[in-house]
């Protein structure tokens, strides 16, 4: 099974690079992932005309998509437009191999993150399965090195981390910081994607996305996590997890 994890597209922002955006669609349609997980910041300011542009763009990706909003998408009541266009802010996907739950960690018109106690039962219900369990949200739960002073980590990150440990969630996918990174805490991998097609890059980093490949044919599932470079269409790194 193949999962593409993209984030922070900022399709309607002044820093969006059309060439990178076209490359992203080309690469995704060539590798044919089973699902594309998009962890927020599709727009710059959450306006309805921005969402219309975003929808037209994402419709060109020929794959199933699981999408959660980011802090930019929640601006100007954009969270309501998000629901009109994409349905729920808490999407769920499941097959014989994985269970993937999307969580809206955004707050209207502020950049801070918050999951909320009212959503913990949803996480328990959907991710208490004997499968590879994945939670996807915009905000990172653990600070990312090289991204400056920490400001926007979810205010209830500690409680959510405890829940991840308790449920033995395999992967937590996030974005927000525009820099790819990977942490492991107990049995959970916390994987942050960089920005896929925006010039809002940290230092000398590159536009990229993550590709998670799961080989379910072997008893202990082999999992490869690859970082793909957008502007040169090549793999930057590959980590093998089991």
Could you tell me if 139 and 105 are in contact, meaning their C-beta atoms sit under 8 angstroms apart? yes
In sequence order, the β-bridge partners of residue 134 are 100, 171
Could you tell me the residue ranges of all domains in the chain?
2-241
Give the pLDDT of residue 219. 43
Question: What integer pLDDT is reported at residue 7 of this predicted model?
Answer: 97
* 92: three-class secondary structure by DSSP: strand
* pLDDT tens profile 163-179: 999 999 999 999 999 99
pLDDT of residue 129: 87
**pLDDT for 93:** 98
Listed as ranges, residues in the chain with pLDDT below 50 are: 218-220
pLDDT for the residue 87: 94
Backbone angles phi and psi of 23, in degrees to 5:
-60, -40
119 φ/ψ angles, rounded to the nearest 5 degrees: -100, -10
174: Cβ–Cβ under 8 A, 6 or more apart, which residues? 7, 39, 136, 137, 138, 139, 140, 141, 190, 191, 192, 193
Query: CATH number of 2-241: 3.30.1300.10, 3.60.21.10, 1.10.3720.10, 3.40.190.10?
Result: 3.60.21.10
Distance of alpha carbon 95 from alpha carbon 77, whole angstroms: 33
Q: Which of 88-99 are b and which e, b meaning 16 or more Cβ less than 10 Å from the residue's Cβ?
A: ebebebeeeebb
**What tens digit of pLDDT does each residue of 123-141 get?**
999 999 899 999 999 999 9
In terms of pTM, does the model score above 0.75? yes
| The predicted structure's pLDDT at residue 204 | 87
Please give the pLDDT value at position 65.
Answer: 98
Give the tokens for residue 174.
């996030």
Torsion angle of the four alpha carbons 67, 211, 71, 176, in this order, in degrees rounded to the nearest 10: 170
Coil vs helix vs strand at 161: helix
**Cα–Cα nearest to 46, from 18, 20, 72, 68:** 72
- How many Å apart are CA 50 and CA 78, to the nearest integer? 10
């Amino acid at each position: 099974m193949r999962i593409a994890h993209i984030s922070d597209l900022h399709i309607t922002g002044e820093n969006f690079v059309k060439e990178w955006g076209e490359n992203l669609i080309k690469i995704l349609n060539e590798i044919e992932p089973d699902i594309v997980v998009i962890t927020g910041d599709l727009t710059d300011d959450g306006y309805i005309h921005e969402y219309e542009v975003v929808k037209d763009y994402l419709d060109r990706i020929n794959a199933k998509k699981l999408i959660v909003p980011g802090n930019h998408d929640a601006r100007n009541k954009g969270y309501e437009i998000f629901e009109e266009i994409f349905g729920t802010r808490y999407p769920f996907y499941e097959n014989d191999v994985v269970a993937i739950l999307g969580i809206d960690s955004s707050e209207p018109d502020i950049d801070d993150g918050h999951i909320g106690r009212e959503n913990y039962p949803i996480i328990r219900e959907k991710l208490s399965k004997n499968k590879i369990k994945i939670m996807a949200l915009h905000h990172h739960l653990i600070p990312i090195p090289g991204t400056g002073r920490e400001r926007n980590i979810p205010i209830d990150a500690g409680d959510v981390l405890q829940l991840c440990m308790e449920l033995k969630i395999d992967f937590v996918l996030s974005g927000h910081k525009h820099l790819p990174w990977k942490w492991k805490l107990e049995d959970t991998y916390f994987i942050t994607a960089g920005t896929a097609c925006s010039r809002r890059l940290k230092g000398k980093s590159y536009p990229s996305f993550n590709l998670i490949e799961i080989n379910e044919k072997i008893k202990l599932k082999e999992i490869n996590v690859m970082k793909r470079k957008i502007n040169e269409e090549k793999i930057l790194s590959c980590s093998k997890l089991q």
